């Protein structure tokens, strides 16, 4: 496992795409949060406004998870990778470990930056438990979304297709659910989508109306990430040469 981690780390250091995506995650998450916090006017939920940039940051985290594996299929590096690390569990585990570490660092920086700008721009921002819960949960959420991207990339093996699948889950599916005529069906299906956690984690006012509690929603997202990684591992084992 150590050799696989070293090999993956070497690739990440020499290929700038991953680092650029992480940097953009930090910059754009903080920028959107600052814009929302500084928009002016009364805010029903200051915590949600201060952390609104996560809605964009999740897309970049997902693409980072996709790129770390699917990018190798597009560039032809995957054959050398599979020869160097023939055990699929070890390969996917090494990528997942480095992805988790990288996204965790970016997520902490992004959420701390968003919190700081929110504190400067929103005098009403509470600095107690609700904000801490929202920040901690959002960091874990971004990590899980990145792992969802990695698992999807392993299953689909194409950067554009994998990114399209994950981004559709995050943005398109919730929008489509609003077209359902039955509100009970809307609520029931929405609670099973990975994006439900982003809203639940950051809602500190009127949370009783949410389909699930914040940690229940985060568990749903973890289930999606776990299922995607399991499916990706199965595809890696069956479709690529041993």
Q: Give the mean pLDDT of 193-203.
A: 82
Report the alpha-carbon distance of residue 163 to residue 65 in Å, rounded: 9
Eight-state DSSP code of residue 43: -
Report the alpha-carbon distance of residue 60 to residue 163 in Å, rounded: 10
The predicted structure's pLDDT at residue 214: 84
Q: Is residue 217 packed enough to be buried (19+ CB in 10 Å), middle (13-18) or exposed (0-12)? A: buried
Query: CB neighbours of 186 closer than 8 A, spacing ≥ 6?
Result: 177, 178, 180
User: Would the CA dihedral through 172, 193, 138, 165 be positive or negative?
Assistant: negative
Q: Is the pLDDT of residue 208 over 80?
A: no
Q: What is the per-residue pLDDT across 19-55, written as a single tens digit (0 to 9) for each?
A: 899 999 999 999 999 998 887 656 678 888 899 999 9
Average pLDDT of the chain, as a whole number: 84
The predicted structure's pLDDT at residue 85: 60
The predicted structure's pLDDT at residue 176: 83
Report the alpha-carbon distance of residue 78 to residue 163 in Å, rounded: 18
Where are the chain's structural domains? 2-239
Instruction: Name the residue with higher pLDDT: 17 or 82.
Output: 17
The predicted structure's pLDDT at residue 241: 47
Q: Is the pLDDT of residue 159 over 60?
A: yes
Q: What is the pTM of this model?
A: 0.89
């Amino acid at each position: 496992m150590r050799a696989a981690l070293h090999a993956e780390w070497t690739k990440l250091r020499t290929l700038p795409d991953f680092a650029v995506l992480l940097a953009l995650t930090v910059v754009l998450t903080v920028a959107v949060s600052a814009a929302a916090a500084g928009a002016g006017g009364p805010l029903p939920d200051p915590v949600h406004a201060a952390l609104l940039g996560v809605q964009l940051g999740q897309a970049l985290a997902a693409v980072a998870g996709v790129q770390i594996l699917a990018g190798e299929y597009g560039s032809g590096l995957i054959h050398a990778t599979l020869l160097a690390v023939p055990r699929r569990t070890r390969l996917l585990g090494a990528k997942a470990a480095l992805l988790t570490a990288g996204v965790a660092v970016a997520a902490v920086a992004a959420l701390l930056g968003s919190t700081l700008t929110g504190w400067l721009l929103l005098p009403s921002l509470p600095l107690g438990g609700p904000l801490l819960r929202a920040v901690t949960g959002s960091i874990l959420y971004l990590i899980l979304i990145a792992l969802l991207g990695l698992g999807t990339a392993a299953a689909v093996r194409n950067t554009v297709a994998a990114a399209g699948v994950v981004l559709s889950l995050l943005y398109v599916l919730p929008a489509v659910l609003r077209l359902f005529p039955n509100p009970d069906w809307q609520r029931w299906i929405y609670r099973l989508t990975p994006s439900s956690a982003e809203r639940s984690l950051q809602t500190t006012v009127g949370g009783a109306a949410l389909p699930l509690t914040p940690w229940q929603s985060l568990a749903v997202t973890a289930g999606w990430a776990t299922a995607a990684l399991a499916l990706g591992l199965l595809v890696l084992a069956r479709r690529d040469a041993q």
